[in-house]
């Protein structure tokens, strides 16, 4: 995985860097054609939001992945694209696994004939063990021998050194040194009956079991043990004078649900230089998801239709680059749609489908928050695992959005660029990213309200001390939860960004300036871990 990233950086470094003097407002000093930005109509966006609302109303109140409301959303998007664009539309399905405990897991140990039943509790301070998200099901009713994996179970060497060999046994592995996912992958490779992870006891906070998520791709049954329980089982397993065995059961619903991504490509433009505009098509189960993130999806649809008709206008300059609009499934469950797409692109060899064919990912998530900010992802603060290649371009994309708000005398704010939306997997794969965000559960500050009121006029300043979206992830995230003024500006800003990028004479060298990338590489050696752990997206402990 890491090798791939380095190769990608390598390819980028080969591009001749012309460093065009593009500020975002001109192309070779010619003003850009801004017909896209000015042609886009807020009503076209609102129309889609009303349709999404109608779908949710007719589908148990939401449009979440794995539900009929989500499927109807995908049908609506595909039908609209077929009717209103000449784009090439592709729907690709991936399997989404359920994870639901059907009953509490059980665990007992037998050491030299002494049976102990261990305590499961959702109160982690009282629990000796806890379930692991995406563990598979298992029932071990005969006594299966325990084996302790040396060190942290992070390398083949650790697993090969275990006595007895872990094949078919229950394996104990201590927290630390690598991600829990890496440990689980090795556990699966060495064919364990169950993986028992345990806390490391390094501080008083590291005694009890913790909640971890091994991700959709996990293939082993697993539990998480307290340090004390883990330690006592390790001592027994390592003591030749004792016989240590385990009985346990983990019963989950892990049914597979096919979930779709939709992408729609312009029929013109170089497929090896693609601009990807992404948004997510699912809502949370709690509500219709009209702001989160119907606003992004609806904007994406309106942009696709407007660009399709402009590009068929004879006097509108054709873009040198292909533009691909995508609607990712299952963002709310951990960026699964975008993650799947990027993972496939890393493996792909078909021209136009490879990760190296992507120049930039613009992400549209929440765009019409009622107590909005004009948030621009802050490209100066890419997550630490971002390859150098993606950094300068991400910062330039931030500046590009800022220039539109500045030209239009509108306020704006930087917003966190921490990888926790669908652009995360692209950025981690070395693709430049950027986008807009109108605010979720953060509180709008007095400073912000004053700034927005001064620049926009009193009532548009919003309300200090309340959240930017009071209906975030709730049933009230309906069409009434949209600030149309804010959404309108966000839509125009996005169209402007796409239009400016599309009209660059050499977008590749603008986004991937060789010298700056080399400087960053010289100062910061590439990070060791590939960013594809679901735990990292959610900030969960991962080692």
Ligand X SMILES: *[C@@H]1O[C@H](CO)[C@@H](O)[C@H](O)[C@H]1NC(C)=O
Q: Tell which one of 10, 168, 258, 505 touches ligand X (CB under 6 A).
A: 258
Is 331 labeled as catalytic in the residue annotation?
Answer: yes
Residues 132-151 that bind ligand X (CB under 6 A): none
> What's the closest the beta carbon of residue 68 comes to ligand X, in angstroms?
5
Hey, which bits of 177-318 come out as E strands?
194-198, 222-225, 244-250, 252-253, 256-265, 270-280
Nearer to ligand X, 199 or 293 (CB): 293
> What's the closest the beta carbon of residue 347 comes to ligand X, in angstroms?
23
User: Residues in the chain, how many?
Assistant: 543
Nearer to ligand X, 223 or 284 (CB): 284
> What's the closest the beta carbon of residue 391 comes to ligand X, in angstroms?
7
> What's the closest the beta carbon of residue 8 comes to ligand X, in angstroms?
20
441 vs 50: CA distance, rounded Å: 23
Task: Choose one: 66-74, 162-170, 225-233, 486-494; the region binding ligand X (CB under 6 A).
Answer: 66-74
Q: Tell which one of 399, 509, 521, 527 touches ligand X (CB under 6 A).
A: 399
Nearer to ligand X, 172 or 263 (CB): 263
What would the x/- binding string for ligand X be over residues 510 to 539, using CB under 6 A?
A: ------------------------------
Nearer to ligand X, 68 or 207 (CB): 68
> What's the closest the beta carbon of residue 380 comes to ligand X, in angstroms?
4
Task: Choose one: 63-71, 165-173, 202-210, 453-461; the region binding ligand X (CB under 6 A).
Answer: 63-71
Question: Crossing angle of helices 68-84/42-57, nearest 10°?
Answer: 150
Nearer to ligand X, 68 or 410 (CB): 68
> What's the closest the beta carbon of residue 147 comes to ligand X, in angstroms?
39
Residue 365 touching ligand X (CB under 6 A): yes
For 242, the token pair is 């004792």
143 vs 248: CA distance, rounded Å: 9
Q: Tell which one of 62, 293, 385, 479 touches ligand X (CB under 6 A).
A: 293
Task: Choose one: 33-41, 67-75, 217-225, 475-483; the region binding ligand X (CB under 6 A).
Answer: 67-75
> What's the closest the beta carbon of residue 25 comes to ligand X, in angstroms?
13
Residue 413 touching ligand X (CB under 6 A): no
- Closest C-alpha to 280, from 272, 269, 291: 291
Q: Tell which one of 321, 358, 437, 510 touches ligand X (CB under 6 A).
A: 437
> What's the closest the beta carbon of residue 151 comes to ligand X, in angstroms?
35
Following CA atoms 201, 202, 203, 209 in sequence, which dihedral angle do they give, to the nearest 10 degrees? -40
Instruction: Give how far the C-alpha of residue 172 lies from the chain's centroid of Cα atoms, to the nearest Å.
Output: 31
Q: Tell which one of 366, 429, 493, 517 touches ligand X (CB under 6 A).
A: 366
Q: Which residues pair with 117 in a beta bridge?
A: 108
369 vs 367: CA distance, rounded Å: 6
Question: Are 190 and 100 in contact, with CB atoms under 8 Å apart?
Answer: no
201: left (phi over 0), alpha (psi -120 to 50) or beta: left
138 vs 251: CA distance, rounded Å: 7
Q: Tell which one of 9, 223, 342, 440 touches ligand X (CB under 6 A).
A: 440
Nearer to ligand X, 242 or 380 (CB): 380
Report how far apart, in Å, the C-alpha atoms of 44 and of each of 112, 306, 492 are: 72, 9, 12
- Which is it for the CA torsion 67, 72, 73, 77, positive or negative? positive
What would the x/- binding string for ligand X be over residues 325 to 344, using CB under 6 A?
A: ------xx------------
Interface with ligand X: number of residues (CB under 6 A):
19
Nearer to ligand X, 153 or 434 (CB): 434
- State the Cα angle at 386 between 444 and 14, rounded to 5°: 135
Question: Are 441 and 470 in contact, with CB atoms under 8 Å apart?
Answer: no
Question: Are 385 and 403 in contact, with CB atoms under 8 Å apart?
Answer: no
A 10 A CB-CB count for 202 gives 11
434 vs 428: CA distance, rounded Å: 13
Residue 421 touching ligand X (CB under 6 A): yes
Residue in the structure block whose two tokens are 């009956």: 193
Residues 272-291 that bind ligand X (CB under 6 A): 284
> What's the closest the beta carbon of residue 440 comes to ligand X, in angstroms?
5
For 405, the token pair is 């708000």
Helix/strand/coil for 463: coil
For 498, the token pair is 């796409």
Q: Tell which one of 181, 292, 357, 499 touches ligand X (CB under 6 A).
A: 292
Catalytic residue, from 51, 128, 181, 331: name it.
331
Hey, which bits of 206-269 come out as E strands?
222-225, 244-250, 252-253, 256-265
Q: What is the number of the residue whose Cβ is closest to ligand X? A: 365
Residues 444-483 that bind ligand X (CB under 6 A): 473
419 vs 344: CA distance, rounded Å: 19
The residues assigned a catalytic role are: 331
Contact residues for ligand X (CB under 6 A)?
Answer: 67-68, 71, 258, 284, 292-293, 331-332, 365-366, 380, 395, 399, 420-421, 437, 440, 473
């Amino acid at each position: 995985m890491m090798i791939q990233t380095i190769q990608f950086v390598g390819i980028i470094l080969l591009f001749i860097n012309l460093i065009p003097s593009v500020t975002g407002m001109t192309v070779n000093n010619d003003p850009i054609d801004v017909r896209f930005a000015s042609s886009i109509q807020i009503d076209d966006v609102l129309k889609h939001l009303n349709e999404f609302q109608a779908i949710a109303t007719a589908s148990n109140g939401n449009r979440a992945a794995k539900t009929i409301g989500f499927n109807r959303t995908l049908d609506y998007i595909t039908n609209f694209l077929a009717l209103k664009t000449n784009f090439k539309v592709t729907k690709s399905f991936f399997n989404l696994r359920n994870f639901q405990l059907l009953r509490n897991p059980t665990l007992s140990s037998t050491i030299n004939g002494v049976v102990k039943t261990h305590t499961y509790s959702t109160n982690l301070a009282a629990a000796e063990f806890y379930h692991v998200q995406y563990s598979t099901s298992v029932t071990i009713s005969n006594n299966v021998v325990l084996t302790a994996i040396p060190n942290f179970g992070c390398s083949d060497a650790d697993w090969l050194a275990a006595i007895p060999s872990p094949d078919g046994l229950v394996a104990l592995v201590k927290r630390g040194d690598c991600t829990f996912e890496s440990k689980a992958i090795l556990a699966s490779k060495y064919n364990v009956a169950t993986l028992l992870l345990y806390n490391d006891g390094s501080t008083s906070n590291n005694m009890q079991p913790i909640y971890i998520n091994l991700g959709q791709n996990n293939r082993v049954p697993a539990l998480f043990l307290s340090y004390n329980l883990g330690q006592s089982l390790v001592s027994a397993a390592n003591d030749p004078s004792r016989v240590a065995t385990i009985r346990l059961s983990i019963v989950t619903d892990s049914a597979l649900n096919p979930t779709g991504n939709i992408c729609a490509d312009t029929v013109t433009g170089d497929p090896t230089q693609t601009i990807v505009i992404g948004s997510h098509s699912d809502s949370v189960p709690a509500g219709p998801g009209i702001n989160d993130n119907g606003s992004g999806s609806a904007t994406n649809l309106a942009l696709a239709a407007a660009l399709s008709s402009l590009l068929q206008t004879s006097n509108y300059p054709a873009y040198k680059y292909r533009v691909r609009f995508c609607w990712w499934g299952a963002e709310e469950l951990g960026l699964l749609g975008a993650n799947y797409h990027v993972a496939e692109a890393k493996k792909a060899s078909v021209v136009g489908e490879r990760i190296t064919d992507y120049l930039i990912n613009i992400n549209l998530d929440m765009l019409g928050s009622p107590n909005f900010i004009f948030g621009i992802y802050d490209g100066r603060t890419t997550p630490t695992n971002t390859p150098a290649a993606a950094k300068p371009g991400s910062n330039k994309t931030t500046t590009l959005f800022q220039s539109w708000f500045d030209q239009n005398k509108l306020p704006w704010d930087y917003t966190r660029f921490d990888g926790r939306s669908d652009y995360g997997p692209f950025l981690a794969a070395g693709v430049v990213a950027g986008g807009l965000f109108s605010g979720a559960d953060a509180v709008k500050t007095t400073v912000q309200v004053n700034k927005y009121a001064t620049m926009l006029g009193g009532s548009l300043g919003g309300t200090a001390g309340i959240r930017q979206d009071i209906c975030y992830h709730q049933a009230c995230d309906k069409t009434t939860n949209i600030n149309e003024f804010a959404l309108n500006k966000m839509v125009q800003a996005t169209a402007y960004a796409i239009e400016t990028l599309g009209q660059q004479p050499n977008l590749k060298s603008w986004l991937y300036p060789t010298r700056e990338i080399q400087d960053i590489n010289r100062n910061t050696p590439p990070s060791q871990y590939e960013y594809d752990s679901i735990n990292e997206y959610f900030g969960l402990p991962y080692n």
